[in-house]
Each structure stands twice: as structure tokens, then as C-alpha cells.
């Protein structure tokens, strides 16, 4: 009987529990035992691996749609982790302890559910997982993982941010003012773009497209309404200015005589009951991950490509997209997916008269 481990790492999002639940169900159908590693890699570096046996009674279906991770994602107190190991110059010791702890679990395979940082780190330190199969499932609200058309958590985050903007639109109309809403997304503008369009934003600023503040102001002043939503991604920058992007844009609007307020949904975007689309994606990716284990695949990631869930090599994932250095972990390069110039949503936004920057 195979012994399968599940670990969630990085930032949380909705859909993690759905993935865990379906892995448990699918593994049980195959006659495999499933175990959960609590608190990510943090739960593996103590004296005893923090691992529990999983079954459907521990995570029943009526709780699987709840946001966050039942297993938790780590970064607890002063527990050691990859970042702290770099800071204290104890990387070799940390890697050795992590490999030893994983060996103690006697797992045949590990399903790691993580974002692009976690996946890049897993590939960089792949020797740690050499004694077991490693299969990854992509999750992030940012949609910044290359080679997959969707990630677990994105659809729910779009829903959360859209509803946030919907509510603001009503008070914006009541008080004849504009709201500058700052979305998450790091260096990828897909969350801001998708939710902004869904909420009827008049302007959307994302990191991938240069914008002109004067043209933004002209666009707002020429709008048919004297109220509305302007969505800005947290990854945008304004030359000569520092601070929160929404605050920087708000100051420019105020100086131009445009009444406005800023709004920060923050981690509400990571919360919310998992949408049906994310639940279905989690189920399909869980099934494909288990099939990969049955087929003796390792160092692979599940990916949605068109209408099909496939597995692709982690090496291909980490070498695709736009790469950048991790600010906290030395010698770690992270691969990011970004909004392509020919993205259909950008084309539609332009055609609808929404200001999205200086597109070609």
C-alpha cells in the first residue's frame, strides 16, 4: 500500500481544502494511505515530523469548501524555514534536517500544493525529495505560475475582489467619488485585470503595461459618470514616487481635483468560500496528481492546458515565463507568468473604452 503525503506551502488561498479532500478520496479509492504534513516545511524540521493520518472524517466534504488550509502553511513563530536558514547561514544544516525528517515519514510520494516560489524552491532543492515521488499542484490567487491556464484559488480571489468593488461602487455613486482599489498580484496583473473588468472599473493599471497619469486623469474627467472604480495592481510603480500604489494614484487624482478615496481589500482576496470552478479544478488536479503517482512520475506539476489537466516537468515550469531573483532566498530564481500583450481581456478592455495604460 502506497503512503502518500500532502503539504501546503506559501501564501494561503481558497481551494486548498478542496484539493486535500479530493486527494484523500482518490487515494482511498486506490487503496493508498494519506498523511498530512502540518505547517509546511516548518512542520518537518523539529525533533519529530508534524504529520497526521488523514481520512474523510477529519476533513468532511461540508468543510472542504472553506478557505485557507486545514494543514496550515507554515511560518509559525520562530520555527526554522528556508528563509530563516538563509538569514542565519545554516542552509546546509536545514537541508540535511529536512531530508532526514522526510525519510522518517517513510512516504512513497509527496503532493506539494504551492505557488511559484514554493515550486521554484522545490526544484532548486530537489535532492531533498530524491527518495520519494514529488508531484506539485499549482495554487495562487496571483495566476503567476507559467504553463497552466488556471491555478487553484484564482477564481475565488476574482470573486472576492469583484464583490468588494461591487459594494464600493454603490457608495461611490452616493457620494460622487472615485475609489482607487489596490489588488494583490505581485508582478502579475491578471487578478486586477479580471476582477476590474468584472466589476465595471473605469480604469485598470497593471505592472505589465506602462501608463500615463495625465492620460488617466483625462480619462476619468471625461467619463460619463462622476464616480467609479479604478483598480491598481500592487505591482505597479510610479516614477519619482514611493508608497502604496493606490495611495500614489489617489494623490495624483486629488491634485487634479478628482474626489476619491483609497480602498485595500488586502487578505480578503485570499478568503471566501471556494467557488464551484475552483472546487472542480482542485478535484481534477488532485486526480491527475494521483494518476501521476500511479504512473511513477516525479518532479512534475499538474497543469490546466485548454480543457485537459496534464502533468509537466518542474524543470520546464521554473524555466518558463519571466524570471526574477527571490528577495529573501539567495540564489533562488522564481519564474513568473505575466499578462500577455495579446490577452483577450486586454483587447476587450480597450474596445470597451476602459483605460488600461498605453497599449500598442
Tens-digit pLDDT profile for residues 291-307: 999 999 999 999 999 99
Whether the Cβ atoms of residue 214 and residue 278 lie closer than 8 Å to each other:
no
| Alpha carbons 48 and 66: distance in angstroms, whole number | 29
| Alpha carbons 302 and 272: distance in angstroms, whole number | 24
Is the pLDDT confidence value at 75 over 70? no
Is the pLDDT confidence value at 79 over 60? no
Q: What is the domain partition of the chain in residue ranges?
A: 3-153+274-320, 158-270+341-351
Active-site hit among 12, 42, 142, 144: 142
Instruction: Report residue 123's pLDDT band, with 50, 70 and 90 as the boundaries.
Output: very high
Domain 3-153+274-320 in CATH 3.30.420.40? The answer is: no
Whether the Cβ atoms of residue 290 and residue 27 lie closer than 8 Å to each other:
yes
Rama region for 278: left / alpha / beta (φ>0; ψ in -120 to 50; rest) = alpha
What is the CA 251 to chain-centroid distance, rounded?
29
Instruction: Report residue 323's pLDDT band, with 50, 70 and 90 as the boundaries.
Output: confident
**Same topology between domain 3-153+274-320 and domain 158-270+341-351:** yes
Homologous superfamily (CATH) of 158-270+341-351 is: Phosphofructokinase domain (3.40.50.460)
The whole-number pLDDT of residue 239 equals 86
Is the pLDDT confidence value at 335 over 90? no
User: Quick one: what percent of the chain has pLDDT higher than 70?
Assistant: 98
What is the CA 48 to chain-centroid distance, rounded?
30
Residues 124-179: pLDDT tens digits? 999 999 999 999 999 999 999 999 999 999 999 999 999 999 999 999 999 999 99
Is the pLDDT confidence value at 85 over 90? no
What contacts 178, CB < 8 A, 6 or more positions away? 172, 202, 220, 227, 228, 229, 230, 253, 258, 259, 260, 261
Is the pLDDT confidence value at 246 over 80? yes
What contacts 175, CB < 8 A, 6 or more positions away? 227, 259
Name, of 8-12, 101-105, 170-174, 240-244, the range with top average pLDDT.
170-174
Is the pLDDT confidence value at 113 over 90? yes
The whole-number pLDDT of residue 47 equals 67
Q: State the average pLDDT over residues 345-351.
A: 94
| Alpha carbons 9 and 113: distance in angstroms, whole number | 6
Is the pLDDT confidence value at 107 over 60? yes
The whole-number pLDDT of residue 360 equals 63
| pLDDT top residue among 277 and 359 | 277
The DSSP code for 61 is: G
The whole-number pLDDT of residue 78 equals 55
Asked about 142 being catalytic, the answer comes back as yes
**Within the chain, where are the H helices?**
16-29, 82-87, 91-105, 116-124, 154-175, 190-198, 213-221, 245-255, 276-294, 314-318, 344-351
Burial class (CB in 10 A: 0-12, 13-18, 19+), 276: exposed
Q: State the average pLDDT over residues 254-270.
A: 97
The whole-number pLDDT of residue 169 equals 98
Residues 13-62: pLDDT tens digits? 999 999 999 999 999 999 999 999 999 888 888 667 899 999 989 999 99
| Mean pLDDT, the chain, integer | 93
The whole-number pLDDT of residue 76 equals 54
Amino acid at each position: 500500500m502506497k503512503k502518500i503525503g500532502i503539504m501546503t506551502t506559501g501564501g494561503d488561498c481558497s481551494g486548498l481544502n478542496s484539493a486535500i479532500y479530493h486527494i484523500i478520496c482518490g487515494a482511498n479509492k486506490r487503496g493508498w494511505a494519506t498523511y498530512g504534513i502540518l505547517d509546511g516545511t516548518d512542520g518537518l524540521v523539529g525533533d519529530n515530523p508534524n504529520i497526521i493520518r488523514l481520512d474523510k472524517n477529519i476533513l468532511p466534504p461540508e468543510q472542504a469548501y472553506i478557505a485557507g488550509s486545514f494543514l496550515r502553511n507554515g511560518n509559525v513563530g520562530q520555527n526554522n524555514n528556508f528563509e530563516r536558514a538563509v538569514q542565519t547561514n545554516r542552509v546546509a544544516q536545514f537541508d540535511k534536517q529536512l531530508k532526514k525528517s522526510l525519510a522518517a515519514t517513510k512516504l512513497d510520494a509527496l503532493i506539494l500544493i504551492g505557488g511559484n516560489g514554493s515550486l521554484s524552491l522545490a526544484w532548486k532543492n530537489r535532492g531533498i525529495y530524491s527518495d520519494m515521488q514529488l508531484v506539485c499542484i499549482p495554487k495562487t490567487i496571483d495566476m503567476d505560475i507559467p504553463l497552466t491556464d488556471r491555478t487553484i484559488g484564482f477564481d475565488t480571489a476574482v470573486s472576492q475582489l469583484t464583490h468588494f468593488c461591487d459594494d464600493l461602487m454603490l457608495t461611490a455613486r452616493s457620494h460622487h467619488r472615485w475609489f482607487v482599489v489596490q489588488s494583490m498580484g505581485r508582478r502579475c496583473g491578471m487578478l486586477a485585470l479580471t476582477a476590474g473588468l468584472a466589476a465595471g472599473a473605469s480604469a485598470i493599471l497593471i505592472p505589465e503595461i506602462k501608463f500615463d497619469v495625465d492620460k488617466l486623469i483625462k480619462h476619468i474627467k471625461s467619463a460619463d459618470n462622476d464616480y467609479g472604480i479604478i483598480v491598481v495592481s500592487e505591482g505597479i510603480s510610479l516614477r519619482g514616487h514611493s508608497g502604496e500604489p493606490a495611495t500614489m494614484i489617489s494623490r495624483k487624482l486629488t491634485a487634479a481635483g478628482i474626489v476619491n478615496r483609497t480602498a485595500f481589500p488586502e487578505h480578503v482576496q485570499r478568503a471566501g468560500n471556494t467557488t464551484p470552478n475552483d472546487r472542480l479544478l482542485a478535484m481534477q488536479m488532485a486526480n491527475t496528481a494521483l494518476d501521476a503517482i500511479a504512473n511513477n512520475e516525479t518532479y512534475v506539476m499538474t497543469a490546466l492546458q485548454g480543457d485537459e489537466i496534464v502533468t509537466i516537468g518542474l524543470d520546464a515550469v521554473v524555466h518558463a515565463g519571466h524570471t526574477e531573483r527571490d528577495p529573501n532566498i539567495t540564489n533562488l530564481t522564481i519564474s513568473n507568468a505575466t499578462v500577455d500583450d495579446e490577452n483577450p481581456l486586454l483587447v476587450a478592455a480597450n474596445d470597451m473604452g476602459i483605460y488600461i495604460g498605453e497599449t500598442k
